[in-house]
Amino acid sequence: MAQPRIMEATLTILGIAQDGGVPHAGCSCARCMSAHADPSLRRHPVACGVRGGDGSMHLIEASRSLPDQMRLWAEALGAEGVARPDSVSLTHIHLGHIDGLGQFGKEVMGCSEVPLFASESVLDELSGRSVLGPFSAATVQPMERFSPSEGCGFEMEFVPVPHRDEHADTHAVVIRGGNRSVLFLPDHDDWNQTLHRHGAVSIRQWLTDLEVDIALLDGSFWDASELPGRDMSEIPHPPVSETLARLGERVEGDAEVHFIHLNHSNPLLGPGPQADELSDLGWGVVVQGQQFAL
């Protein structure tokens, strides 16, 4: 009897922008105005999708760009039509990560019982906001590995990280396939706290401890001078320039590091000296639709 064909799990990048996306509401900067004029310059809020080895589809983060992201996901996989998630996972409860959840409900897709994986405090907070209707909420114990569906051929692991946890806590997600593992870390406050929490002295050591081959790291801002007139302490993220200073040049044996969750103001959204510096050091920025075989 022929064996069923086992595919490897594949991770697809579905959005690379910070919660506000590009163009950003209320902004008439040159980048946002170009994105109004040319839709190919638009960037969705951060999200990724993992197709399991059995063809099941698992979405991480539910942004308001869901309709476009589900088409992008299918297109990247060479499929017709649009992707339909079999499960949804959330890192935390800030706007851009959850504002697509309502689209699974009666008003749009009419789903029911889609598993929603998130921490207990995230699910508690969402139930208070009445958006759990279409979902069968499933709590994830931090640090415990699980498969989002039987036969998907990969595991996920929620890793706690500090991040302005006013309403609920925040996690990164490690996606572990048969061959490679990816760290998805869209938001955290600062490296000292994150590394301290995990008993690591450096980013390198933490990535080694996590046993990941690819790290998708919070790249919200290039540096602290980026948002004149806004108090950056209200929106803490480690600037990319600091992450690069900590990492230095990529050396043999290092994980691949790519930055995600870029604010509309981040110069890494286009070509320039910052993008050159990043690639000269051996690191990168992912593009929408980019895939990683797991």
Q: Which residues bind Zn ion (CB under 5 A)?
A: 19, 24, 27, 29, 32, 94, 187, 264
CB of 18 to Zn ion, least distance (A): 6
Q: Which is nearer to Zn ion, 82 or 235 (CB)?
A: 235
Q: Which is nearer to Zn ion, 49 or 96 (CB)?
A: 96
Please state the separation of Cα 241 from the chain's center in Å.
Answer: 20
Q: Which is nearer to Zn ion, 44 or 264 (CB)?
A: 264
Nearer to Zn ion, 6 or 29 (CB): 29
Other C-beta atoms lying within 10 Å of the C-beta of residue 123: 21
The residue among 70, 65, 72, 74 whose CA lies nearest residue 46 is: 65
Please state the closest distance from residue 193 (CB atom) to Zn ion, in A.
Answer: 17
Nearer to Zn ion, 61 or 254 (CB): 61
Pick the closer one to Zn ion by CB: 43 or 264.
264
Q: How far is the CB of 187 from Zn ion (least distance, A)?
A: 4
CA–CA separation, 96 and 183 (whole Å):
19
DSSP bridge partners of 17: 45, 262
Q: Which long-range contacts does 235-240 make (Cβ < 8 Å, 24+ apart)?
A: 236/164, 236/189, 236/190, 237/187, 237/188, 237/189, 237/190, 237/261, 238/188, 238/189, 238/190, 238/191, 240/266, 240/268, 240/274, 240/278
In the complex, the smallest distance separating the C-beta of residue 251 from Zn ion, rounded to whole angstroms, is 30
Query: How far apart are CB 219 and Zn ion at their closest, in Å?
Result: 11
Q: How far is the CB of 281 from Zn ion (least distance, A)?
A: 24
Task: Assess contact for 19 and 61: CB atoms under 8 A.
Answer: no
3-state secondary structure labels for all residues of 97-144: HHCCHHHHCCCCCCCCCEEEEECHHHHHHHHHCCCCCCEEEEECCCCC
Q: Which is nearer to Zn ion, 24 or 44 (CB)?
A: 24
**Least CB distance from residue 243 to Zn ion, whole Å?**
16
